[in-house]
Amino acid sequence: MRPPEITAMLNDAVQFLTKGQDDAALEQVNLAIRIAPQDPDTYAMRAGIYAQKKLWIRAEEDYQKVLALDPSNVPAKLDLAEIKFQQKLFDPARADFVSLEKDDNLGDLASYRVFLCDLAAGHTVAAGKELDAFNQVGSNASYYYANAAWALAHHKTEEGRGWLDSASRIFAPNKVNSYSISLKDLGYLPLPPSQIPPQ
């Protein structure tokens, strides 16, 4: 069981992060790690801060520490793939996302990220086949966001906007954020203002 002072430090770190005070958050997490070096959550939080600061090597080292302490930690595996994606290392990121496609909770998100890796790396044929697979299911978040990404990649902004608007009405905000953040990483979001006059 985690000591209460560690929980308090991590909560303080979260509060600092919400205020944009990354260095203060990092200070709290480092203190927590010194006190509880076997707590994987402390390393995961520090890795997230490092990733936000684009300190990729440090972020990767901390995610590896999380997995050394907790090999079944799927969110850390996803985050490791994500930092490769953010660096535009699409083929290595793709391999990591593929390994998560069978996960009950993150499988759809991982499949969507595989598609984005292929799309961004110029593997258009593979990306097209993956999009067809999403379209056959037709109800998961990947269906909406993959179609949005495909439209935006092909400079069809209003079509992409329609897919994103539909998704934002259907899915909870945390899911919307999980799927749309990669579109920000690729430079597709934020969208420019609509050129279609309101009716």
Q: Which two tokens stand for residue 193?
A: 């203002």
pLDDT of residue 84: 96
Angle (nearest 5°) at CA 45 between 63 and 42: 85
For the chain, the domains span 107-188
Backbone phi, psi, residue 142, to 5°: -60, -35
Distance CA 70, CA 72 (A): 6
E strand or H helix at 151: helix 141-153
What angle separates helix 124-137 from helix 141-153, to the nearest 10 degrees?
140
> What pLDDT, on the 0 to 100 scale, is given for residue 195?
76
Place of tokens 């890795």: 47
Tens digit of pLDDT per residue, the chain (199 long)? Answer: 788 999 999 999 999 999 999 999 999 999 999 999 999 999 999 999 999 999 999 999 999 999 999 999 999 999 999 999 999 999 999 999 999 999 999 999 999 999 999 999 999 999 999 999 999 999 999 999 999 999 999 999 999 999 999 999 999 999 999 999 999 999 999 999 887 766 6
Q: Residue 36 and residue 9: Cα distance in Å, rounded? A: 11
Are 101 and 70 contacting, i.e. CB atoms less than 8 angstroms apart?
no
Instruction: Determine the distance from the C-alpha atom of residue 88 to the mean position of all C-alpha atoms in its chain, rounded to a whole number.
Output: 13
